[in-house]
Amino acid sequence: MAQSVSLKMLATHLGLTVSTVSRALNGYTDISPATRERVKRAADELGYRANQNARRLSIGTPETICYLMPRYASSGTQPFVAQLLQGLGEALSKRNWDLLVSHAGTSKDELAQIDRLVRSGRIGGLVISRPLKNDPRIRLIQDLKCPFVVHGRTAACDDYAWYDIDSARAFVDAVDHLVGLGHSRIAFVGAPLQYQFAQDRLNGYQTGLKGNGLPGDPDLVQIAEFSDEGGEVATNSLLDLPEPPTAIVCVSDAMAFGALAAVRARGLMPGKEISVIGYDGLSFGAHANPPLTTMAQPQAHAGRRLGDMLLSIIDGEDPKKHQELQRAHLLRRQSDGPLQHVVDREKRSIREEHQ
Amino acid sequence: MAQSVSLKMLATHLGLTVSTVSRALNGYTDISPATRERVKRAADELGYRANQNARRLSIGTPETICYLMPRYASSGTQPFVAQLLQGLGEALSKRNWDLLVSHAGTSKDELAQIDRLVRSGRIGGLVISRPLKNDPRIRLIQDLKCPFVVHGRTAACDDYAWYDIDSARAFVDAVDHLVGLGHSRIAFVGAPLQYQFAQDRLNGYQTGLKGNGLPGDPDLVQIAEFSDEGGEVATNSLLDLPEPPTAIVCVSDAMAFGALAAVRARGLMPGKEISVIGYDGLSFGAHANPPLTTMAQPQAHAGRRLGDMLLSIIDGEDPKKHQELQRAHLLRRQSDGPLQHVVDREKRSIREEHQ
DNA sequence: AGGCTAACCGAAACCGGTTTCGGAAGGCAA
DNA sequence: TTGCCTTCCGAAACCGGTTTCGGTTAGCCT
């Protein structure tokens, strides 16, 4: 790789010293306008670009932030990552900062990796996604005094910056919506509660029930692996109940897809006999069977905001001032519908018997 | 952010000079084993990590590669990105290299950005995805003499390294499969041919036809925007034909989802009246209506291989030696099926009339 | 004892920028 | 002409590492 032209080469080419050229390019006022112009033109012509390693070493900031890729047992795609990175990149590019991504194998690895990452001076800030309830990474990063923002929240989230969707409220809304459709036996398909988002959404489900004067039946909340398969097994447990639910809210779209499959496998039609609502708003849900009703949210916006927040904090602002709660909105497709009354059900079984 | 302990601090702490400490940590042989141990232990205790900006400036390599995020008109999610990044990260972490991601707005921006990126010495290599037929980025990167690998290929791909799926062959396989099911009127739903992958797949479709002695009807290839909506409009054009196809191969899973929707909208059942085959192998396709038959491929493997290849090239190996063609395999779900003969079709319309 | 070698470590240059400090040149007033 | 103040630029320190080179000490041989 041909080493590009250095400051020294540019200086000798111009018959000036490096210090003069450097100041000319960086807009110092003690350089005559004539010289400044001459230097800038020469830099353009020779295609000079300051070596960033040298520059950053000198100015003392890495001008780089790092996104820690989430890792799950199920290696399923994380559809939101690409959009989040896109948004982060947009925010950073305004100031010419770089975006590093890092992923780790085990949880222990991850802590060691974070330690190495910030101690080695490579990065000026971190963003992490989907924290656990009591995420050891956050303590570590705080101890390291490295600026960071969290995409999501932990149980105790008072003393750091975060951007989150109010998923508790979203699940209240989802339950309200279903109650409005006449449902009263509403189930919850969830992910392991070590993830704070899983706990939040369960809480929302429960307060939604309470708000509508509905009893909380423990049989109606099923926790399973965070994947479409998990959604399927959880839903099967629900359908095996003596008195199965008439509506199901799922902690994610992926799990909802599994729920749809389980419902269909019993010869029932989601949106008719049973309502299913997801959470994420994946565009792909429009192609599910039937198209999935879901609580949607803007992922690219999340990336941009997280980037802006992190830069502000690095500039010295108080992290506590940067805590943003966004709302999800109901994206109604076809997997939800009014409660079928018992008469309807009986009609259906009679019809089926006659076939 | 508390500046971590520097080499100098470590040295004074030990009563040695920085050069000694540095060599002790880097495994030079002219340091006594006793000193080496003493230094390493102190480094551990104090949590010393070499400043990477300084280190890389000194050793002259950025130890970082960059992935250029693909951008499309349709801002639809790129489900493969997360997995690809995962694989790239795995390959790089073996040597403690960093992974930068960069995205650009317009095409012109992207060229300028690449130029800045490599000239500024931030990166030691590049990987780009889904090149155009005649991709200006490749010429630029070659001119800059920056090591790179391409995920995909251009029209002329002899003189650089790439990793690609043999999508031409995959489409031959898909056509063969459909012919084996009795189909002869097979259509192609494609993306704009400026993308080389779109051209490759069209070629594969056509040679597949030829190999089975089938005529190539220009009406049966429909090019549309690279998205699910595009797939829908293309398929609608096909179904409006006086003699519509009985099978459709699609350039991507996303477009195939649109095709499924268009077919269902006419009251036809994909997999029965019309076969639809996608390309990508998205895990999500299992939840489409009906589950999408597709040509699948391993994305995480692609990332690992691309990373390994790039590192080899940076080490000085000949890029031409690193050209890898992988095969896709048919992942059969339920959107394909045997040709329904005319009698069947007539039966169906008679049945419909009687309802 | 003198000399030679090997083992071990310190001094200093270097990577390529940024930034402080001071000095030379020129303009103006006294 | 001297003195002072700007204006403009060069010299050099510095960021935090790596690496070359050379020097000191100890050990061994003759």
Q: Is B348 a residue whose pLDDT tops 70?
A: no
Band of pLDDT at residue A343, cut at 50, 70 and 90: very low
Question: CA–CA separation, A171 vs A202, rounded Å?
Answer: 8
Burial class (CB in 10 A: 0-12, 13-18, 19+), B226: buried
Between CA A95 and C1' D25 the distance (Å) reads 55
Confidence of residue A355 (pLDDT cuts 50, 70, 90): very low
pLDDT tens digits for B109-120? 899 999 999 999
The set of residues, in sequence order, having a beta carbon less than 8 Å from that of B215 and lying 6+ positions away, is B209
Question: Which pLDDT band, with edges at 50, 70 and 90, does B324 fall under?
Answer: very high
Determine the residue of chain B that is closest to A78 in CA distance.
Answer: B82
List CB contacts of B160: < 8 A, sequence separation 6 or more.
B138, B142, B148, B149, B150, B319, B320
Positive/negative CA dihedral, A182, A187, A189, A190: positive
How many CA within 13 A on the CB side of residue B272? 10
Residues in a beta bridge with A288: B288
Average pLDDT over residues B13-42: 94
Cβ-contact B100, B64 below 8 angstroms: yes
The predicted pLDDT at position A73 comes to 45
Comparing A42-56, A240-254, A272-286, B333-347, the range with the smallest average pLDDT is: B333-347
Work out the minimum CA distance from B217 to partner chain A, whole angstroms: 29
Per-residue model confidence (pLDDT) at position A2: 57
- CA atom of B85 to C1′ atom of C21, Å: 48
Q: How far apart are the first and last CA of chain A?
A: 75
**Edge-to-edge strand list for the sheet holding A329-331:** A221-223, A186-190, A247-250, A275-280, A293-296, A329-331
Cis before A290? omega within 30? yes
In the sheet that holds B186-190, the strands lie side by side as B221-223, B186-190, B247-250, B275-280, B293-296, B329-331
pLDDT at residue B18, as a whole number? 95
- Of the candidates A81, A122, A116, A120, which has an alpha carbon nearest to the alpha carbon of residue A100? A122
What is the mean pLDDT of the segment spanning B288-298? 94
What pLDDT is stored for residue B351 in this prediction? Answer: 47
Q: Name every chain A residue with its beta carbon within 8 A of the beta carbon of B287.
A: 228, 257, 260-261, 288-289
Distance B8 CA to D25 C1' (A): 25
Contact across the interface for B121 and A52, Cβ inside 8 Å: yes
- Please tell me the predicted confidence (pLDDT) of residue B321: 96
pLDDT at B347 over 60: no
Query: Considering only CA atoms, which of A19, A25, A30, A20 is closest in space to residue A46?
Result: A25
- Of B48, B50, B121, which is closest to A4 when you measure between CB atoms? B121
| pLDDT value for A80 | 79
Residues of chain B positioned with their CB less than 8 A from the CB of A78: 82
pLDDT of residue B3: 62
Give the pLDDT of residue B76. 52
Helix and strand numbers, DSSP H then E, in chain B: 13, 12
Q: Inspect the interface and report whether the beta carbons of B77 and A76 lie closer than 8 Å.
A: no
pLDDT tens-digit map of B178-211: 999 999 999 999 999 999 999 999 999 999 999 9
Q: Identity (one letter) of the amino acid at B87?
A: G
Tens digit of each residue's pLDDT (9 = 90 or more) over A70-124: 876 444 557 778 889 999 999 999 999 999 999 887 788 899 999 999 999 999 9
- Side-chain half-sphere of B222: how many Cα atoms within 13 Å? 27
pLDDT confidence tier of residue B355, bands split at 50, 70 and 90: very low
The sign one gets for the Cα dihedral A208, A212, A218, A222 is negative
Mean pLDDT of B16-22: 95
Q: Is the pLDDT of residue B75 over 70?
A: no
| Among candidate residues B299, B298, B297, B288, the one with its CA nearest the CA of residue B336 | B288
Q: Is the CB of B12 under 7 A from strand D?
A: no
Residue count of chain B, please give it. 355
Q: What domains lie within chain A, and their CATH numbers? A: 7-50 (1.10.260.40), 64-165+299-326 (3.40.50.2300), 167-297+331-342 (3.40.50.2300)
Residue B344 pLDDT > 60:
no
Tokens of B118: 């490599």
Q: How far A212 CA lies from chain B's nearest CA (Å)? A: 33
For the range B36-39, what are the long-range contacts, defined as Cβ-Cβ under 8 Å and sequence gap of 24 or more? B38/B14, B39/B10, B39/B14
Instruction: Check if the beta carbon of residue A92 is closer than 8 Å to that of residue A311.
Output: yes
SS3 category, B287: helix
The yes-or-no verdict on residue B172 having pLDDT over 90 is yes
d(CA B129, CA A110): 28
Residue B19 has pLDDT above 50, yes or no: yes
pLDDT attached to residue B70: 84
d(CA A134, CA B67): 33
Q: Tell me, in Å, how far CA of A174 is from C1' of D7? A: 70
Give the tens place of pLDDT for each residue, A224-266. 999 999 999 999 999 999 999 999 999 999 999 999 999 999 9
Short-list B219, B236, B229, CA closest to B252: B229
Per-residue pLDDT tens for A289-336? Answer: 999 999 998 877 999 999 999 999 999 999 999 999 999 999 999 999
Q: What pLDDT, on the 0 to 100 scale, is given for residue B82?
A: 85
- Residue A337 confidence class, pLDDT cut points 50, 70, 90: very high
Chain B residue with minimum CA distance to A141: B1
Q: Which amino acid is at B186?
A: I
User: In the block, which residue shows the tokens 């559809």?
Assistant: A79
In this prediction, residues A160-182 reach a mean pLDDT of 97
Question: Which amino acid is residue A229, in one-letter code?
Answer: E
**In this predicted structure, which of B43-52, B291-300, B311-320 has the lowest mean pLDDT?**
B291-300
* B67, B119, B141, B253: best to mutate for the A interface, most A CBs within 10 A: B119
pLDDT greater than 80 at residue B242: yes
Q: How far apart are CA B152 and CA B163, in angstroms?
A: 6
**Confidence check: pLDDT of B1 > 80:** no
Whether any strand D atom is under 7 angstroms from the Cβ of A12: the reply reads no
Calpha distance B255→B282 (Å, rounded): 12
